[in-house]
């Protein structure tokens, strides 16, 4: 038997939930495309996040400040990409174990519209807004 917060269901039901469906294939393809695109951008963005040359003779003060600001922005973008890649990995894992589309906090179903907008979403709208009890 498999138990969740709402009810007890036969274990075979859980095995059925992990079988590929057209919907799960759609989300898997979407997630893998997002992952591939982020990895491609990430590899090109690494150069921008490298330490800035601080040689006073090579670059003027304003140009150095601009270079430091661009470096900080590149590092922040790289961090956001890293977080998004982690969210994609987590969503792919939920797809594999049959938990994709279910809120990880309350166990309720995540709406299809929400998943279409953000297939990495681990929470339903109520939990994401902090309205769940």
pLDDT in tens, 36-79: 999 998 877 666 555 655 555 555 667 878 888 888 998 999 99
Tell whether pTM > 0.75: no
Cα separation, 118 vs 121, whole angstroms: 6
Tell me what pLDDT residue 10 has: 45
> Is residue 20 classed as helix, strand or coil in its secondary structure?
coil
In tens, the pLDDT along 83-123 reads 999 999 999 999 999 999 999 999 999 999 999 999 999 99
Cα separation, 50 vs 27, whole angstroms: 34
Cα separation, 17 vs 83, whole angstroms: 27
């Amino acid at each position: 038997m498999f138990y969740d917060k709402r009810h007890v269901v036969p274990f075979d039901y859980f095995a059925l939930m992990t079988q590929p469906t057209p919907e799960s294939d759609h989300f898997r393809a979407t997630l893998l495309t997002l992952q591939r695109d982020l990895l491609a951008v990430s590899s090109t963005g690494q150069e921008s996040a490298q330490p800035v040359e601080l040689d006073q003779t090579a670059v003027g003060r304003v140009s150095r400040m601009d270079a430091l600001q661009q470096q900080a922005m590149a590092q922040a973008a790289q961090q956001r990409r890293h977080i998004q890649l982690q969210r994609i990995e987590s969503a792919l894992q939920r797809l594999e174990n049959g938990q994709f589309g279910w809120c990880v906090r309350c166990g309720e179903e995540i709406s299809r519209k929400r998943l279409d907008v953000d297939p990495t979403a681990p929470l339903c709208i109520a939990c994401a807004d902090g309205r769940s009890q």
